[in-house]
Amino acid sequence: MEVNYNILILCGICIFFLIVNAVQMWQNAKRERELFDRLLLSNEEYLNNRVRMSLKTEKTQYIGEIDADKTGDELSVD
């Protein structure tokens, strides 16, 4: 039995694009829910909730120090 590699490659590409589409739909739905919540809440309430949520997440720890140049355009890592 001969395997037609063109058909296998085409099926793989279709599956890849289906997965990418599903991920984008999930991200868009999440973004829409967040925007809808912003519309329903006043700005102060939204900011208070976002600050509270950000305090619950863990902070990333850096190894070494990051020093900003005087221009502020470039960062050097020591």
- Of 5-14, 43-52, 54-63, the range with the lowest mean pLDDT is 54-63
Q: Is residue 69 part of a domain?
A: no
| Number of compact structural domains in the chain | 1
Helices in 4-69 by DSSP H: which ranges? Answer: 5-40, 43-56
- Cβ atoms 68, 61 nearer than 8 A: no
Give the range of the structural domain holding residue 20, as residue numbers without chain letter. Answer: 13-52
Give residue 64's region: left, alpha or beta (phi > 0; psi -120 to 50).
left
Tokens of 41: 């809440």
Tokens of 31: 């973004």
Q: Is residue 72 part of a domain?
A: no
Q: What is the mean predicted confidence (pLDDT) over 57-63?
A: 58
Whole-number CA gyration radius for the chain: 23
Q: Is residue 21 part of a domain?
A: yes
Q: Is residue 22 part of a domain?
A: yes
Reported pTM: 0.47
